[in-house]
Amino acid sequence: MAPLLLDTCALIWITSGAPLSDAANRALRAAASQGHGVAISPISAWEIGMLMSRGRLVLTKSPRAWMATALDQPNTELARLPPEVLIESSFLPGEPPADPADRIIIATAREFGMRIVTRDRAMLAYARAGHAEAIAC
């Protein structure tokens, strides 16, 4: 089973305790039991900061403290984001989402053999087209 990469929306949902799909819950439990970590992309830190700075997301902590808490969870790690992933995000096959952060998350998952956990319709459609692996949460 491939390691999991949380999309920013999934990260927000999981940390807020929102209900997840059965498939996402099974994948998260399986990842934990098999010793696979759950990864968070560094681009999610930027997205959280942007959402908070624009008033579209309200959290009880600063973005820095919130992200530190998210990364401090068991079996959670920061995904690598080398220049090659950023370049690859510009050359994804098919019709990838237009959102640059989504493209970076997809490129990260493709580069490191990860499955994306997301609610984003465009990312799920891209996965259904066979260009990435994703689990709807």
What is the pTM assigned to this prediction?
0.94
| Domains, the chain | 4-136 (3.40.50.1010)
Q: Residue 65 has which token pair?
A: 């403290």
Note the pLDDT tens digit of each residue in 35-79.
Answer: 778 999 999 999 999 999 999 999 999 999 999 999 998 889 999
Q: Is 12 exposed, middle or buried (0-12, 13-18, 19+ CB in 10 A)?
A: buried
Write down the pLDDT at residue 1.
Answer: 62
Tens-digit pLDDT profile for residues 72-125: 988 899 999 999 999 999 999 999 999 999 999 999 999 999 999 999 999 999
Percent of the chain with pLDDT over 70: 99
Residue type at 114 in one-letter notation: M
